[in-house]
Amino acid sequence: MGLENMLTKISIDCDYKYEYEQDDYLGKHELDILLYYARKVKGNFIEIGCNKGLTTKALSKVCEGIVYAIDYSEPTNPEQQYECVDLFKHCLNIENVKCYNKNSQTMDYSKMSNIVLAFIDADHTYEGVKKDFENMKKLIKNGYIIFHDYSPETTFCWNGVANFIDELALTREVLLHKGTMMAVVEVKDGY
Ligand SMILES: C[S@@+](CC[C@H](N)C(=O)[O-])C[C@H]1O[C@@H](n2cnc3c(N)ncnc32)[C@H](O)[C@@H]1O
């Protein structure tokens, strides 16, 4: 059986188009998808890879708890040079956002509790995404882990993210929203 047949990824049909605004990394409809899942859960959120913090700001509006915003001004991987000017600029001074200028892979999460949603959009290497997923998996009992930059349909795809998610989909369901680069894993009772 070919790899494709073994995947448990499920695509959700829709007709999304990318619409970016200045400082945005997510298309408008991708943000809608993120907020759709965010509205389904009650508790605290983590965003790993916030850059200027537009997504963080949007998450803070639907989060009834705290949004832990993590970004690291020194790239873990030199091949992934993001422009890290004005880090967190859109989410500074928001009451329910706490910003951490830390490496998500090595930082201490032990004081963060009741995490129900994690959005991973940071180090896009296979090892980086895997480490972030494993860290979030330990924190979330029930909720969602959402990845950006996975796409089976376009060539604009980060191989590290694609390889990790394809591997993940061999053992668990991964929800994809067609025409977007969002991939969603639901965590239920710690699995
Ligand atoms: C694509 S941008 C995030 C965009 C943001 N999610 C949004 O939608 O506006 C990726 C960010 O991940 C951060 N990053 C990369 N590796 C990281 C790491 N190991 N720990 C924390 N942040 C990291 C980079 O500094 C960069 O700002």
Measured by CA distance, the residue closest to atom 16 of ligand 1 is 123
pLDDT > 70 fraction of the chain, expressed in percent and rounded: 82
Does the pLDDT of residue 175 top 80, yes or no? yes
Work out how many domains the chain is built from and give that number. 1
The reported pLDDT for the residue numbered 4 is 52
CA of 79 to the centre of ligand 1 (A): 13
Candidates 123, 127, 129, 181: which one to mutate for ligand 1, based on the most atoms within 8 Å of Cβ?
Answer: 123
The reported pLDDT for the residue numbered 23 is 61
Q: Between the CA of residue 118 and those of 49, 115, 133, what are the distances in Å?
A: 11, 8, 9
Distance CA 144, CA 168 (A): 14
Which residue type occupies 111?
K
Candidates 51, 101, 126: which one to mutate for ligand 1, based on the most atoms within 8 Å of Cβ?
Answer: 51
Q: What is the CATH number of the domain that holds 75?
A: 3.40.50.150
Structural domain range at position 112: 3-187
pLDDT in tens, 61-88: 999 999 999 999 876 666 666 667 789 9
Distance CA 141, CA 30 (A): 24
